[in-house]
C-alpha cells in the first residue's frame, strides 16, 4: 500500500539542506522536507542574558514562525494580532530545548546563539525540519565562532548532533515523516528528536483520535529512530561539503 505521494511507510520525503543561504547570519540553512521549506539562521552575539551573566556559560535559544501565506490559507500575522499564539510558543520552546540538549554551555563561553526558524512554505513537519536545519546552522555558527576566537581553540560547544522527524498512524499503519494531508488524517501524531547516537531528546506523542497502545507507540518509535538516523547522515553530508559561502 503506497502513500499519497507514492512513498513507502518508512520512507522520508526528499530532504535538502542548503547551507550559507544568508549573507548576514553566522550560520544559515534553507532546509526542505518535501514541500516544507524552513529558513534557519543562527545569530551569534557576545554576552548572555542578564540572569546568566558571570556564570561563564553560554545560551542557545530559538524562535519559530510561519510566513502568513506559507500555508494553504493565509493566516494573520502574529505581529499584527499583537501576540504570539500557543502553537508558536510551543514549537519555539521545543526547538530551543532540542538544540540545548547538544550544547556544552561551558565550552560555548558567555556567548548567545539565537536560532530563527521561519517557515517559508509548509507541508507538514515544519517543527522537525526546523530542528534538523537549525542544527546545521548552529554547527556553522560554532565554526564561525572558532574562526573569530569567540570560543577557546579546543572547546567543543557541540556535544553531539540532533535531528527530528514526525511519525504517525494512518489507517492503522505507522508512517514516517507525514506531509500535511497525512498529518490531518493521522490518528496518532508523534514528533521525535534524537541525537546522532540514537538516544531521545524529546518524545511527544498525541492521540488525535483514539488513544494509542504500547505496541503502536513502540512501532512509531522504531520508525522515528530509523528516520533520525537517515537525517543524521544527511546533516553530516551537508556539513562535509566545501566551506559554506557565508558571512565573511
Q: Which residues are annotated as a binding site for phosphate?
A: 87, 125-127
How far CA 238 is from CA of 20, 55, 160, in Å, comes to 11, 34, 16
CA atoms of 174 and 227, how far apart (whole Å): 13
- In the bound complex, what is the minimum distance in angstroms from residue 153's beta carbon to a second copy? 26
> Taking each helix axis from N to C terminus, what angle separates 214-240 and 126-147, rounded to the nearest 10 degrees?
40
The closest of 130, 57, 121, 67 to 93, measured between CA atoms, is 130
- Given the rule CB under 8 A, which residues bind a second copy? 22-25, 28, 35, 39, 41, 43, 45, 63, 65, 67-72, 74, 77-80, 82-90, 92-93, 97, 101, 114, 116, 118, 120-123, 160, 190, 194-195, 197-207, 210-214, 217, 221, 225
The closest of 169, 204, 212 to 91, measured between CA atoms, is 204
CA atoms of 147 and 155, how far apart (whole Å): 12
Binding-site positions read 87, 125-127
Closer Cβ to a second copy, 16 or 204, answer by number: 204
- In the bound complex, what is the minimum distance in angstroms from residue 102's beta carbon to a second copy? 9
- In the bound complex, what is the minimum distance in angstroms from residue 49's beta carbon to a second copy? 13
Q: Which residue has the cell 538516544?
A: 199
Closer Cβ to a second copy, 225 or 234, answer by number: 225
CA atoms of 156 and 159, how far apart (whole Å): 7
Closer Cβ to a second copy, 172 or 240, answer by number: 172
- In the bound complex, what is the minimum distance in angstroms from residue 107's beta carbon to a second copy? 16
Closer Cβ to a second copy, 110 or 118, answer by number: 118
Amino acid at each position: 500500500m503506497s502513500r499519497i505521494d507514492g512513498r513507502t511507510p518508512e520512507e522520508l520525503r526528499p530532504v535538502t539542506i542548503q547551507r550559507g543561504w544568508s549573507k548576514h547570519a553566522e550560520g544559515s540553512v534553507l532546509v526542505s522536507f518535501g514541500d516544507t521549506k524552513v529558513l534557519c539562521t543562527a545569530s551569534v552575539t557576545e554576552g548572555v542574558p542578564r540572569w546568566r551573566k558571570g556564570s561563564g556559560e553560554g545560551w542557545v535559544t530559538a524562535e519559530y514562525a510561519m510566513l502568513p501565506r506559507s500555508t494553504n490559507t493565509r493566516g494573520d500575522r502574529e505581529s499584527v494580532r499583537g501576540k504570539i499564539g500557543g502553537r508558536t510558543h510551543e514549537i519555539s520552546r521545543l526547538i530551543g530545548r532540542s538544540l540545548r540538549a547538544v550544547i556544552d554551555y561551558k565550552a560555548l563561553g558567555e556567548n548567545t546563539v539565537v536560532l530563527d526558524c521561519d517557515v517559508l512554505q509548509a507541508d507538514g513537519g515544519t517543527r522537525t525540519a526546523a530542528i534538523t536545519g537549525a542544527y546545521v546552522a548552529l554547527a556553522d555558527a560554532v565554526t564561525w565562532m572558532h574562526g573569530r576566537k569567540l570560543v577557546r581553540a579546543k572547546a567543543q560547544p557541540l556535544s553531539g548532533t540532533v535531528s527530528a522527524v514526525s511519525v504517525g498512524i494512518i489507517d492503522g499503519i505507522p508512517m514516517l515523516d507525514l506531509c500535511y494531508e497525512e498529518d490531518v488524517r493521522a490518528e496518532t501524531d508523534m514528533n521525535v528528536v534524537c541525537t546522532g547516537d540514537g538516544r531521545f531528546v524529546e518524545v511527544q506523542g498525541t492521540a488525535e483520535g483514539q488513544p494509542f497502545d504500547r505496541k503502536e507507540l513502540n512501532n512509531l518509535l522504531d520508525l522515528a529512530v530509523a528516520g533520525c538516523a537517515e537525517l543524521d547522515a544527511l546533516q553530516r553530508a551537508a556539513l562535509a561539503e566545501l566551506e559554506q559561502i557565508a558571512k565573511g
